[in-house]
Structure 1
């Protein structure tokens, strides 16, 4: 991070305390490279670490101005993180760190303002800040929500203290009767929000199984939460339709209402209301290729990207939680694991002892016919939802192919993964376009035939991205016979791979 402006103890000595100085600082970051703009704004926020000598209303005004200036460059860097196809791990960490730093600083500075307001000490500016309490709490909760989303993009843990701090801030707004007061977060805000809307937004995303979504899908899910927010019910009392509860005073996330919690004045309850009907209606619209104009979606979002997220939300917003397809059994065993398309191709093409020795060692904690749950120790930067993995049981001789469907980090070096088994009988094959010269494809592509996941004359293959084309039949050789593969469906596009389904018949 660039060198920060000096921290000073007297507000009158701080460059931002003077309106002209603030305007100069904001002008300096307008229109510049987003990295430089965010870095500079982070520096200014750091310089406000000791702001006790500031009038609290002046401090709040400066914080709002800095956040408003940071919003556009932060959004640009977030889009770069979510959409760029070939970011290096270093670039990913840099983008995540810069965004998290700014939102974390805003949370800390807004909390400092709220703490001064709550102290009860009479000082200049308190009356003005009290009049802006709905905006202060809404901005604080918005910043905390953004910080938590960045932890989710990286599949990191959410500290329990974050939930307590959220509940504390929201509880103040509720106590003062301004929780539902509509406000705008800055002059360029496209809509209104409120303290309760910002709080409920964070709660709903947390209960939407974000550990089963890819980073871009987490972002889409959050945008859909905002869109569907009016359909949810939030209350101090548990009702017949209540599905989740949260305690404002506890450092714990929202929990499904399996049984009534012990009574407490800090308990709050929420339910999906009539949101499922609204989501199903939107799914029907998206299936026809119509994207909702009223949703705040990136212009690059397609029906193919949005539909799986909507279907995911339908499952996890239902009053009855999703049931496991197969019974899971507790175990404690080790598996060798390789990650990614290239490594999986190598092991299924005949792994050497050296390759097996280099494989990571995962501890499997539960297993079923459909997959397993495992603990991963070490800094494995390539893991995320949708990643292809090859697994070899400790006492086994055959690799199985799977894909990560759930991922969450307990710490920087310990993660929990849920793996869906794609196939226990995988055969590498060579795929060519039928009449390759005519299609301009003459080089064979490697495919992994999922033998036990193919039915009748249909065969499923894991391939490099871009191999499947609805108008391009492929051909391969299976058990010495030439086979023509007519495209049926592209079933999935993952991280560095895709799964295609074909109708197979012997070549004439």
Structure 2
């Protein structure tokens, strides 16, 4: 990048920059991010700085903010169990920080792209690496609240890779910190961003998305990003455009500069890791600090990654049909159980718009006020606005679109749920039967997480008590467990 005459900026003096970096290290994580923001903002478009000097200062502030930014992730995830207002504050602060950093790097990349004289290879490689890292963080914080991920994010990510590839530095090793031996590259950072995107952020809550991010780093040496499609290609992206990676259903015909992603080679390592986790041997750094004892969450993410990155692209077995109409929704196991028992004692029914439906799923749009309460894995009871036959489902997808729509994907669990009371040997619990009770046949039962589902269950009726024996099949939701039982003969 061509040198420009540098005038004066407060951080251009070495001692001033070092002092700011020291002060940032003394702050609490959120305070450090808040303090770094104005300094970064002062660099963007400053007439007192040439691009090289601006990049040098931005690199230093970015690096000084890495540890506080990582800690803000843990604080944000932990705040789910404490304060909604604190969670929103942390999200706005950290999301705003990464938005600012990404735009600062984008300005430098655009200036570089317009220059006729080439920049030093090491400088350009570091600029592109840091830009991609900032873009990946911005996308992750967007996904923490179920989107939308602004189109500008992938426009910036694609620009960074494209600029690096034009100069042939996309695979050049970059050491971001002089005191560490670890290196990375433009290709590696971009590959990680594509890999996380391929896992479907609309299917992962914030905790599981962060776990997925860590697991992507763990298996990144086995992930593939190629210039041509292969038999295991899952996603593709055109660097010549601003769109995010897309599932490859067929080989695209017109591509300006294509890259093709596959995670198939990582599935064996993920299977091995899943076996370790199931045995209680979890590698350091994978679990979340606020939930360090929860290996079930890590196992569920590993299973999800194995399923998504398998060789076969998922096929929709049942066609979706547009179905306009309204759905009245009871949110959560407790509220729906009350509705099944006596509608008079149920809570508020939510009024949602139907979009489409298939044999085993329903797509709806929820109002903004409701979608803030919806969580992946939550149980929902629902019926049409002009009927009273309940159906029950669970939230599988949740996404805010750029057009302001709040889309909820619901997997149907049963069309004729029946509420009942059962004794698990220690307490009476309200349950929901998904299948008819027939001697000698299995029946799926929805129970609260507090129930002792590993023991026989006694369903209490007016005239008789039915004994159900637990079967191995079980599945956990946000507020419930679905377990199969056998109606004892």
TM-score (norm 1): 0.84
- Compared CA separation, residues 38 and 465, structure 1 to 2 (3 A): farther
Alignment of 1:281-296 (within 5 A): 281-292=272-283, 296=286
Alignment of 1:160-199 (within 5 A): 160-186=151-177, 191-199=182-190
Among candidates 34, 39, 58, match of residue 53 of structure 2: 58
Conserved 8 A contact 1:429-1:448: yes
Aligned residue in 2 for 1:229: 220
Alpha-carbon distance in structure 2 between the residues aligned to 1:120 and 1:468:
68
Aligned residue in 2 for 1:202: 193
* SS of structure 1 residue aligned to 2:173: coil
By how many angstroms is 1:148 displaced? 0.3
* SS of structure 1 residue aligned to 2:236: strand
By how many angstroms is 1:457 displaced? 6.2
By how many angstroms is 1:196 displaced? 0.6
2:141 maps to 1:150: yes
By how many angstroms is 1:207 displaced? 1.9
By how many angstroms is 1:69 displaced? 2.3
Instruction: Give aligned pairs, total.
Output: 482
Conserved 8 A contact 1:432-1:474: yes
Aligned residue in 2 for 1:447: 431
By how many angstroms is 1:43 displaced? 2.6
Among candidates 475, 497, 501, match of residue 480 of structure 2: 497
By how many angstroms is 1:241 displaced? 4.6
Alpha-carbon distance in structure 2 between the residues aligned to 1:309 and 1:494:
14
Conserved 8 A contact 2:287-2:295: no
By how many angstroms is 1:13 displaced? 5.4
Question: Which stretch shows the higher mean deviation, 12-21 or 105-114?
Answer: 12-21
- Compared CA separation, residues 113 and 390, structure 1 to 2 (3 A): same
By how many angstroms is 1:402 displaced? 1.2
Conserved 8 A contact 1:291-1:302: no
- Compared CA separation, residues 105 and 288, structure 1 to 2 (3 A): same
Among candidates 342, 352, 371, match of residue 361 of structure 2: 371
Among candidates 248, 251, 274, match of residue 265 of structure 2: 274
- Compared CA separation, residues 456 and 151, structure 1 to 2 (3 A): farther
- Compared CA separation, residues 187 and 338, structure 1 to 2 (3 A): farther
- Compared CA separation, residues 116 and 453, structure 1 to 2 (3 A): farther
Alignment of 1:38-53 (within 5 A): 38-53=33-48
2:355 maps to 1:341: no
Among candidates 463, 469, 477, match of residue 460 of structure 2: 477
Alpha-carbon distance in structure 2 between the residues aligned to 1:449 and 1:250:
50
Alpha-carbon distance in structure 1 between the residues aligned to 2:438 and 2:407:
30
By how many angstroms is 1:145 displaced? 0.4
Structure 1, unpaired ranges of 5+: 1-9
Among candidates 79, 90, 96, match of residue 91 of structure 2: 96
By how many angstroms is 1:459 displaced? 4.9
* SS of structure 2 residue aligned to 1:16: coil
By how many angstroms is 1:432 displaced? 4.7
By how many angstroms is 1:396 displaced? 2.3
2:399 maps to 1:415: no
Conserved 8 A contact 1:446-1:463: yes
* SS of structure 2 residue aligned to 1:281: helix
* SS of structure 2 residue aligned to 1:373: strand
Alpha-carbon distance in structure 2 between the residues aligned to 1:479 and 1:141:
64
Aligned residue in 1 for 2:299: 307
- CA RMSD, aligned part only? 3.2
Alpha-carbon distance in structure 1 between the residues aligned to 2:48 and 2:101:
18
Conserved 8 A contact 2:327-2:383: yes
Aligned residue in 1 for 2:418: 427
- Compared CA separation, residues 39 and 489, structure 1 to 2 (3 A): farther
Question: Which stretch shows the higher mean deviation, 87-96 or 493-502?
Answer: 493-502
By how many angstroms is 1:198 displaced? 1.0
Conserved 8 A contact 1:468-1:487: no
2:8 maps to 1:16: no
Among candidates 294, 309, 313, match of residue 321 of structure 1: 313
Conserved 8 A contact 2:379-2:392: yes
